Amino acid sequence: MAETGNQRDLTKGEKTKYRLARAMKECMQTTPVENITVKQITEKCELTRQTFYRNFLDKYDLINWYFDKLLTKSFEHMGRGKTVYDALVKKFTYIQEEQTFFAAAFRYDEQNSLRQHDFELILQFYENLIREKTGKVPGENVHYLLEMYCQSSIYMTAKWVTGGVTCTPEELASIIVDGMPEKLAEIFVRLEILN
């Protein structure tokens, strides 16, 4: 999480959030997520607990905030005419670059977990995309297909990032695209976001 040109342009609040995320990442290298305390995070980046709680509800909120940043970057490519496959490759490449952080985060599967957060974000993204492209809210059948597809996608993502599956981001994206239910794939082909 080295500071990039874009991060130099961030507000003070955003820079503070990135400092906390870097500290969380350092803690994750030696400690399981569930055992990391806010005190450890704030001591690592020399900020106060008050500053932490001004920015995040808890450590899981911090993990989810950082993941939101990652997901936004990877899925904004779809809005520029790229495919589901392209967006997934971008997402998995970002995850791979921060493998330690995300491996630790995806191992935790309780309340407020990254797995649940990722599922909700991806489901919402696909539903919004369908609504934008068609002008209609997806029907109940499509919603259930999306739920099923997103759950299996998260399962494979977590398995991959925690070492249960060994492949490249491109290979994982292909696996997930190939696993899309046929009716959902037909919709995505019509919307020109799936080859």
Comparison of pLDDT for 43 and 74, the residue scoring more: 43
pLDDT surpasses 50 at 146: yes
Q: What's the pLDDT tens digit per position in 164-180? A: 999 999 999 999 999 99
Q: What is the DSSP letter of 139?
A: P
pLDDT value of position 54:
96
Q: What is the DSSP letter of 80?
A: G
Whether residue 19 contacts residue 45, with contact meaning beta carbons closer than 8 Å, is answered with yes
pLDDT surpasses 80 at 7: no
Q: Three-class SS string for 2-31? A: CCCHHHHCCCHHHHHHHHHHHHHHHHHCCC
pLDDT surpasses 80 at 75: no
Rounded to two decimals, what is the model's pTM? 0.77
Mean pLDDT of 69-91: 73
Q: What's the pLDDT tens digit per position in 154-163? A: 999 999 999 9
CA dist 52 and 57 (Å) reads 8
Q: Which two tokens stand for residue 56?
A: 């995040």
pLDDT value of position 68:
83
CA dist 114 and 19 (Å) reads 19
Residue 10 — very low, low, confident or very high, per pLDDT cuts 50/70/90? confident
